Amino acid sequence: MNPQNWQKSSYCSEGDSCIHVAATPGAIHLTESTDPTGAVLTTAPAAFDALLTGLKREPSPTGRSAGDDTPLRLRSADTVVTTTRHKWNAFVLGVQAGEFDHFVSLQPAAGRDMSPATVPYDV
């Protein structure tokens, strides 16, 4: 990963093998440290805010279950970040605990005016 200040969910028990989030002016970046491609998904703060809002409305993930190691893909138009259901669930729990809210609040107001888009994921 590049030398930005990456943050992972406190619910991730996999060491550094988790979904990580970082911010630069006008953009939010997501990656998974074990993604074999090293892909970094970049999105607008408004889109990341919409993702956080949507995930906070979802039921909280529960403990590990069969299929937790099945690949799950976070997509933008030209980037795919591969993770697992277990690591995604740890990220969602962190989102629901407000651990990533500061990434949106730290962005300049102009960064929030970008057109919102979702960060879709495949199961």
**pLDDT tens profile 5-58:** 899 999 987 677 889 999 998 899 999 988 888 899 999 999 999 999 999 998
| Residue 98 CA to its chain's centroid (Å) | 13
Residue 79 domain flag: yes
Does residue 12 lie within any of the structural domains? Answer: yes
118 C-beta neighbours (distance < 10 Å), count: 13
Q: Are 6 and 81 in contact (CB under 8 A)?
A: no
Mean pLDDT of 93-119: 70
The mean pLDDT value of the chain amounts to 81
Q: How far apart are CA 34 and CA 49, in angstroms?
A: 25
Q: Is 42 a member of any domain?
A: yes
* Containing structural domain, residue 14: 7-61+68-103
Domain count for the chain: 1
**Is there a domain that residue 87 lies in?**
yes
3-state secondary structure of 118: coil
Dihedral of CA atoms 23, 25, 27, 28 in degrees, nearest 10, equals 10
**Residue with tokens 């669930």, as numbered in its chain:** 89
Residue 54 within any structural domain of the chain: yes
Residue 99 CA to residue 93 CA, distance in Å, equals: 9
Q: Is the pTM of this model over 0.85?
A: no
Domain membership flag for residue 50 = yes
